[in-house]
A and B are shown apart, each in its own frame.
Chain A
Amino acid sequence: MQQAINRALRRLLSEDPATLVFGEDVGRLGGVFRVTDGLQRDFGEKRVFDTPIAESGIIGLAVGLAMNGYRPIPEIQFDGFAYPAVDQIVNQMARMNYRSRGAAPMPITLRLPSFGGIQAPEHHGESLEALFAHVPGLKVVAPSDPADAYRTLLQAVRCDDPVIYMEPKARYWDRRPVVLPEPADGPDGAEAADGFDPIGTSRVVRPGRHATLVAWGAMVHRCLQVAELAAEDGVELEVLDLRWLKPIDADGLAASVARTTRAVVVHEAPLTAGLGAEVSALITERAFRDLAAPVQRVTGFDVPYPAGPLEPQYLPTIDRILLAVQRTLEF
């Protein structure tokens, strides 16, 4: 997946001279996950550059660059370090278009290596999606596989709104190939359409008829494992990759539940006031009559992301998801 993101960044840098990639260690090192590997070599230090370690400064820099006509793609090295930048993200980047009544658009894509699953030290694994999805003015996306990472990054950067692009660290080494439609010929970004689903659409990554598993990021992969196991017992689970966490695809959720009549939301973040609550509420509002059982949630616990050895017990396990499926089927 990190190569897919690298490829997307490469394409974006080639296509638009206003795009800039910057952050901590993204230049010579190529990023701690090598996501930006070779970009500085190929695009130069004016387009791809290292910054001092100062997350608020990085986003503030992006805001000023956006005001000066650029399309910044800053990176915060690890999710937990987005907290020092929250003022710049929430009070500045997210609001500048509104505050200026459209005079100062903020086409910034904040790349944020996100979520757990790699047994990282404290602050190196967090799930901030509910925080950012709550903020008016931001869009939030969490791709789950290489092809989708590629597509959604192109969309995020080309979008004139600020987007929080949450890269699931646990899937960086997913090496499935990126298969895309053949690029259309012609100028003017004919390729840009690419047949992508619009921003804010989910996708069914595995169809099923007995219940819908709703997930994003690395949990999509886990839900696919669950669906695989459940299929052995004759239970056909639909796996819906929500993908865009703001805007959320309420129609897609409702359509899936209409097919399966049951839903289990799976996320890494703590339960309380998590995005699972939003998904659950949307399903209840839009598809109540289709529901055969209450929406179940399988999430992290209301504790900080724990240290490495305990992380596997914190993140939703296959067994917990299967138990939730059982609960909803037996309701």
Chain B
Amino acid sequence: MQTHASPPGDTPAAAVDDLPPEVSRAIYRDMLTARLLDTEAIALQRQGVFPAYVSLRGQEAAQVGSATALDRERDFAFPTYREMGVALTLGVDMVGYMASHRALWHGGLYDPVASRLSSFNAVVGGPVPHAVGWALGERLGDRTGCAIAYFGDGASSEGDIHEAMNFAGVFRTPVVFFCQNNRWALSVPNERQIAGGSVAARAAGYGMPGVTVDGNDVAAVHTATREALERARSGGGPTLIEALTYRVEPHSTSDDPTRYRDREEERAWRDLDPLPRLRARLEAGGHADAAFFTEAETAARAEAERIRDGVSTAPAPSGEDLFTHVYREPTEELARQQRVWREEVAEL
């Protein structure tokens, strides 16, 4: 049986020193902003602004490290619902993104196509075949974009992911399957979720490389993703990356993890926090000095607060929006119901 208290021991050595300093510093800024925004989001839930929130704390390296490897001009990411760090790294309108946590609009209030980040999706396996379809479209159109599909260890049990990986293996689509194995599928640990104990090991059955990385080592994640994207772009087909990490907070703000895991485990993983770990390496590698960290902290805090204030005060969509986007080519019946709504709901 796997132990959850210990970090992965068989993963490639961290290679932050190999990254150009401007890249490693940008990664640090994004990870820090994600961390601070996450903290703000939890506070917003406590204040009753968000009905619920799903924290990404502890997974910043997996998310920012992978998303930083994407080419925002030509690649496309498919998230589920815990990929705030990916959204941030891709430059998504974060007020619009966080609006989904405030339940202003399912899927968020950002433009997924322009953002290169598909809509927030709570069916955890559902978006993964979309990534394969999108990637197939790139190949059919002789373009060079790649898709990346984010999912968790729990989602790896869903049939759609297996169908998607098999399709990708058969069609050799330029797609990266990026599993953030944060050890807990809500209350269910890996050994009750993943037969065989490894998501990455499944890749062999689908004819693609399966890579395991230390998900708390941002450089390792970044490098593995970059390599997978390069392979995909050059016609080498899909890759499955399993980033071993940990969800240090509850599954959601409605969850009580004391019922299913012990505090000792959480503490051990907090000690492996990817942020101080990156900071130490940046300092040791001479990528950044004290002035940088002070400035980065100030900027990240300001950005997190800007997003917090933006989403807190964002107006709810108009009731007209109930009807607006159901169809591109509206039906008479829906128009009739909209008139009913105006007369019997909106005007009363």
B166 at the interface (CB under 8 A from A): yes
Binds B, one of A3-11, A102-110, A306-314: A102-110
Q: Min CB distance, A67 to chain B, in Å?
A: 5
Known contacts A98-B325, A103-B112, A104-B118; A64/B106 CB under 8 A: no
Chain B CB within 10 A, most for which of A61, A104, A199: A61
Binds B, one of A25-33, A49-57, A184-192, A207-215: A49-57
Contact of B333 among A61, A96, A101, A247 (CB under 8 A): A247
Contact of B326 among A20, A61, A62, A137 (CB under 8 A): A137
Contact of A63 among B111, B130, B166, B332 (CB under 8 A): B130
Binds A, one of B36-44, B157-165, B213-221, B238-246: B157-165
User: CB-CB < 8 A to A61: which residues of B?
Assistant: 129, 132-133, 136, 167
Beta-carbon contact of B329 and A160 below 8 Å: yes
Q: Min CB distance, B107 to chain A, in Å?
A: 3
0/1 string, B127-138, CB within 8 A of A gives 1? 111111111111
Known contacts A91-B126, A137-B327; A46/B167 CB under 8 A: no
CA distance A61 to B140 in the complex (A): 13
B123 at the interface (CB under 8 A from A): yes
CA distance A87 to B121 in the complex (A): 12
State which size class the interface on A falls in: 35 or more
CA distance A96 to B113 in the complex (A): 11
User: CB-CB < 8 A to B134: which residues of A?
Assistant: 64-65, 67-68
Beta-carbon contact of B106 and A99 below 8 Å: yes
Closest to B165 in A: A57
User: CB-CB < 8 A to A70: which residues of B?
Assistant: 137, 140
Closest to A65 in B: B133
Beta-carbon contact of B326 and A64 below 8 Å: no
Beta-carbon contact of B147 and A64 below 8 Å: yes
Segment 109-160 of B: residues with Cβ below 8 Å from A: 109, 111-114, 118-119, 121, 123, 126-138, 140-141, 147, 159-160
Beta-carbon contact of B130 and A67 below 8 Å: yes
State which size class the interface on B falls in: 35 or more
0/1 string, A240-262, CB within 8 A of B gives 1? 00000011101000000000000
Beta-carbon contact of A100 and B130 below 8 Å: no
Segment 164-216 of A: residues with Cβ below 8 Å from B: 199-200
CA distance A267 to B116 in the complex (A): 44
CA distance A65 to B131 in the complex (A): 9
Q: Min CB distance, B324 to chain A, in Å?
A: 8
Beta-carbon contact of A60 and B328 below 8 Å: no
User: CB-CB < 8 A to A51: which residues of B?
Assistant: 167, 170
Beta-carbon contact of A199 and B329 below 8 Å: yes
Contact of A68 among B137, B163, B164 (CB under 8 A): B137
Segment 101-151 of A: residues with Cβ below 8 Å from B: 101-105, 107, 136-137, 139
Beta-carbon contact of B160 and A63 below 8 Å: no
B293 at the interface (CB under 8 A from A): no
CA distance A248 to B332 in the complex (A): 9
A228 at the interface (CB under 8 A from B): no
B258 at the interface (CB under 8 A from A): no
Q: Min CB distance, A59 to chain B, in Å?
A: 8
Beta-carbon contact of B126 and A65 below 8 Å: no
Known contacts A70-B137, A92-B123, A99-B119; A159/B329 CB under 8 A: yes
Contact of A97 among B105, B121, B327, B331 (CB under 8 A): B327
User: CB-CB < 8 A to A54: which residues of B?
Assistant: 163, 166-167
Beta-carbon contact of B111 and A103 below 8 Å: yes
User: CB-CB < 8 A to A101: which residues of B?
Assistant: 105, 107, 109, 111, 321, 324-325
User: CB-CB < 8 A to B326: which residues of A?
Assistant: 97-98, 136-137
CA distance A46 to B333 in the complex (A): 38
User: CB-CB < 8 A to B131: which residues of A?
Assistant: 64
Q: Min CB distance, A160 to chain B, in Å?
A: 4
Known contacts A100-B107, A101-B325, A137-B327; A60/B123 CB under 8 A: no
Known contacts A61-B136, A64-B135; A56/B114 CB under 8 A: no
Q: Min CB distance, A17 to chain B, in Å?
A: 9
User: CB-CB < 8 A to A57: which residues of B?
Assistant: 129, 132, 160, 163-164, 166-167
A100-B113, A161-B327 are known; give 18 further A-B pairs, CB within 8 A: A54-B163, A57-B163, A57-B166, A62-B133, A63-B130, A64-B130, A64-B131, A68-B137, A68-B141, A69-B141, A72-B133, A88-B160, A92-B130, A95-B106, A97-B326, A101-B325, A104-B112, A139-B327
Can you list the 9 inter-chain pairs with the closest CB atoms, starting with the nearest? A64-B133, A60-B129, A68-B137, A57-B163, A99-B107, A160-B328, A64-B130, A64-B134, A54-B163
